[in-house]
Amino acid sequence: NAGVTQTPKFQVLKTGQSMTLQCAQDMNHEYMSWYRQDPGMGLRLIHYSVGAGITDQGEVPNGYNVSRSTTEDFPLRLLSAAPSQTSVYFCASSYHLRGEKLFFGSGTQLSVL
């Protein structure tokens, strides 16, 4: 049982490049989400999904896209990277929609030059 797996662990991009951060969970969780963590800002919710085919925006969605074609996978796409997207990104999942504890991946450290 791997839990929540994120890849890559580290990534350096140039401004304007695109990339996809991968997230997979093997716990059959309905709810999956992406957070970014910046110094002094805590964790801020980017996008979330309550099941396959259903996604919604969080607090800071601009510049990011998501899709949920399967229960297991929830990739985060940066369409045109900007230096302001330099951050640590965490994927998290839980069994159900509301109020459940979150299981976090180990994070992706992204630097945009």
Partner 1 sequence: SQQGEEDPQALSIQEGENATMNCSYKTSINNLQWYRQNSGRGLVHLILIRSNEREKHSGRLRVTLDTSKKSSSLLITASRAADTASYFCATDAELGGSRLTFGEGTQLTVNP
Residue 83 φ/ψ, nearest 5 degrees: -55, -30
The stretch near partner 1 (CB under 8 A) out of 18-26, 38-46, 63-71, 79-87 is 38-46
Paired sense of beta strands 108-112 and 10-13, if any: parallel
Select 42 or 62, whichever has its Cβ closest to partner 1: 42
Taking the complex as a whole, the smallest distance from the CB of residue 99 to partner 1 amounts, in Å, to 5
Paired sense of beta strands 108-112 and 87-94, if any: antiparallel
Q: What is the rounded distance in angstroms from the CA atom of residue 57 to the CA atom of residue 44?
A: 11
Binding site for partner 1 (CB under 8 A): 4, 31, 33, 35, 40-45, 48, 50, 56, 58-59, 90, 92, 97-99, 101-107
